[in-house]
Structure 1
Amino acid sequence: MNLKKTDVKTCNVLLEQYLVSRAGKSPVAAEKLIFDGVGQKDVYNITAPFEDEGEAVIAGRVESRDSEHSEVVFFVERDGKWIPREGAPVLVLQDPFHTRIGGELIVGGVQIFPHPEQEGALMWRTAFYRGEKIADLKLFFTGPDGMKDLRLVELPDGGIGVFTRPQGEKGGRGQIGYYRAASLDELSVQHIEEAPLFKGQFIPEEWGGANEAHVLKNGLIGVLGHTACFDEAGDRHYYPMIFVLDPSTGNISDMELIAIRDDFQPGPAKRDDLQDVVFSGGLVRQAGGTAVLYAGISDAEAQRLTILDPFARFES
């Protein structure tokens, strides 16, 4: 498939396009995930379920409503509720993600630590763990300071696709970059910092990132991500989006939204300015042309939503 990127599309344009595409279609049912065993803490920004030692596991960000200090807990489902998996490690991270490379499980998240220059402020970076299974996970790489949303995908040729998201002088509020590494052992902070950015994805006032990458049947890479903006009142708006990359040419498709907050059930928000936040966690593609989107909602809870598979048409 010949991917074509048109002009940059703002959050408002993407939202208008999504609302038009949704009009007249049957509403899809969203479902809240119920978590237990973590006291009064919230569980949000979850991964999609993945198999580990023969059972489905979800990794979730667990924290108090009034705090940004979180842990990543691995949950299993028992009697309709997701509870911490007995004996599983707890990682001091935010916003977990997972993939498999070379048969190994790769789990990562955002690691926060005291800012080296600004007293009382925090800095962050993306940390990666690897192992045959959850019980074996060991830290093996940390990305550049100040960079969230680093993601890896095993390419059909055996290489590693690396999605980056610098902020600041390069990247502004956060743009997506990409490069190919030969192997996990070839990952380096320098290469990540030097990775070229995709052109025409975000205007300077807006930002986004990759959350999960899927290898499609034809070798293209389907990217689940988010695009975000502030409104005039300073409130944040986060939308789940997808685009597709041809790793052989570097060409990408336009972004398109796949859901909005109104598609999910009503619920609480961590703060008033976070009510319209949907943070893409993972996508499970299913037979029959549907997919289940797992997402964090308003930085306070987790839900899943069945949608049409957004990558199916790129495989035809």
Structure 2
Amino acid sequence: MLPTLKQIHQPVAIPCERLLQDFEMSGKTVADPRRLVFRGVGDRDVYNIAAPFEYHGESVIAGRVEPRDSEHSEVVFFIERSGAWEPIEGAPTLLLQDPFHTRIGGRLIVGGVQTFPHPQLEGMLAWRTIFYKGEGIGDLEPFFTGPDGMKDLRLVELKDGSVGVFTRPQGAKGGRGKIGFTHVASLDDLSLAVIESAPLLEGQFTDEEWGGANELHLLENGWVGVLGHIACYDGYGDRHYYPMAFVLNPEDGSFTRIELIATRSRFLPGAAKRSDLLDVVFSGGLIRKTDGTADLYAGISDAEAHRITIADPFLRYER
């Protein structure tokens, strides 16, 4: 059995303001900030990208593509050519937001958020998470639809071959959005009932704030490194989203406290979709490297896609 994480940290909900102070006082540095350049999408923005993954020997990025004045988006798969990312010819386009990916049982799993007219509120949108799977991009087929109203639903193949499920209910159970965790023996056992009954990870978010998991990393010792975000409103109604990370032991559900790993000011200056989104960084994914650093890919201010290099937030837990 894996050792418990409860002796490492006892999680207590810490508000964004305190987490931000801790980050600024930590001395953490970043390197090589870059804005990713995209071509072939007209005048639309590309943001909230996932980390690159390998396909046919080349790196591919899935990104959210939409006009500046709209939230009607699609997910496009890009490949780098001459310093810019271009749509892959013949690749599917998914009518989703905020793409993510993983591999389970050797198969590619791709997902994102589907929006649809709200069943009760006229003129409003509702949302749910859709999962696709295939041998590669070209044969992706939908295989599971998450509960209505739930974003940030993520899956990870655990060390014993079972599937870890990270949820994010809102409303009576999750308030503005809290992370839950459970696991199933295989993808065939995934169901709405399993997701909706997943216990919350208590003590991560205050009731006024919210967050979710964005990308999951199976660590060498069997623990799960969680790349996510924590968010809040300020007194003017502006949103603040911060990239964060923590580690969870899937055997007993223990987990470390949330730590910020970057802030908007550590990325390059850039555009914003609206003035209330200036301080929004949406964690897309991490590429962990052998030198102890990791490249963090992120959506910036709902308008651009950037990358910075940070210290690998999971390395010390593997050691």
The interval holding the TM-score normalised by the smaller chain is: over 0.9
> How far has the Cα of 1:7 moved from its partner?
1.9
State the distance in 1 between where 2:107 and 2:10 align.
34
State the distance in 1 between where 2:306 and 2:254 align.
32
Pairing partner for 1:9 from 10, 14, 18: 14
State the distance in 2 between where 1:179 and 1:310 align.
23
- Per the alignment, residue 81 of structure 1 pairs with 84
State the distance in 1 between where 2:29 and 2:196 align.
44
- Per the alignment, residue 25 of structure 2 pairs with 20
> How far has the Cα of 1:117 moved from its partner?
1.6
State the distance in 2 between where 1:84 and 1:7 align.
43
Pairing partner for 1:230 from 221, 228, 233: 233
State the distance in 2 between where 1:250 and 1:311 align.
17
Moved over 6 A (4+): none
State the distance in 2 between where 1:153 and 1:292 align.
20
- Per the alignment, residue 214 of structure 1 pairs with 217
State the distance in 2 between where 1:152 and 1:121 align.
28
- The residue type paired with residue 8 of structure 1 is A
If the length of structure 1 is used for normalisation, what is the TM-score? 0.98
- Per the alignment, residue 29 of structure 1 pairs with 32
1:262 lines up with 2:271 in the alignment:
no
- The residue type paired with residue 280 of structure 1 is S
Q: How well do the aligned residues superpose, as a CA RMSD in angstroms?
A: 0.9
1:271 lines up with 2:277 in the alignment:
no
State the distance in 2 between where 1:6 and 1:75 align.
38
State the distance in 2 between where 1:90 and 1:27 align.
33
- Per the alignment, residue 200 of structure 1 pairs with 203
Post-superposition CA distance 1:277-316 (Å, at most 9, x none) = 0000000000110000000000000000000101000011
* Pairing of 1:157-196 with structure 2 (within 5 A): 157-196=160-199
- Per the alignment, residue 127 of structure 2 pairs with 124
- The residue type paired with residue 23 of structure 2 is Y
State the distance in 2 between where 1:29 and 1:16 align.
23
Cα distance, 1:196–1:300 mapped onto 2, change above 3 Å: same
> How far has the Cα of 1:143 moved from its partner?
0.1
> How far has the Cα of 1:116 moved from its partner?
1.3
State the distance in 1 between where 2:263 and 2:29 align.
15
State the distance in 2 between where 1:298 and 1:38 align.
19
- The residue type paired with residue 310 of structure 2 is I
- The residue type paired with residue 220 of structure 2 is K
1:148 lines up with 2:114 in the alignment:
no
Give unmatched runs, 5+ long, in structure 1: none
* Pairing of 1:38-117 with structure 2 (within 5 A): 38-117=41-120
Give unmatched runs, 5+ long, in structure 2: none
Residue 252 of structure 1 aligns to a residue whose secondary structure is: coil
State the distance in 2 between where 1:142 and 1:2 align.
33
State the distance in 1 between where 2:14 and 2:271 align.
30
> How far has the Cα of 1:27 moved from its partner?
5.0
Identity %: 66
Contact 2:30-2:309 within 8 A present in 1 as well: no
State the distance in 1 between where 2:316 and 2:115 align.
39
Residue 228 of structure 2 aligns to a residue whose secondary structure is: strand
> How far has the Cα of 1:119 moved from its partner?
1.5
State the distance in 2 between where 1:270 and 1:57 align.
25
State the distance in 2 between where 1:7 and 1:136 align.
44
State the distance in 1 between where 2:4 and 2:158 align.
19
> How far has the Cα of 1:6 moved from its partner?
3.3
Cα distance, 1:2–1:190 mapped onto 2, change above 3 Å: closer
If the length of structure 2 is used for normalisation, what is the TM-score? 0.97
> How far has the Cα of 1:272 moved from its partner?
0.3
State the distance in 2 between where 1:246 and 1:158 align.
15
Pairing partner for 1:253 from 229, 249, 256: 256
State the distance in 2 between where 1:224 and 1:38 align.
28
State the distance in 2 between where 1:54 and 1:116 align.
44
Post-superposition CA distance 1:87-106 (Å, at most 9, x none) = 00000000000000000000
The number of residue pairs the alignment matches comes to: 314
> How far has the Cα of 1:8 moved from its partner?
1.2
Residue 188 of structure 2 aligns to a residue whose secondary structure is: helix
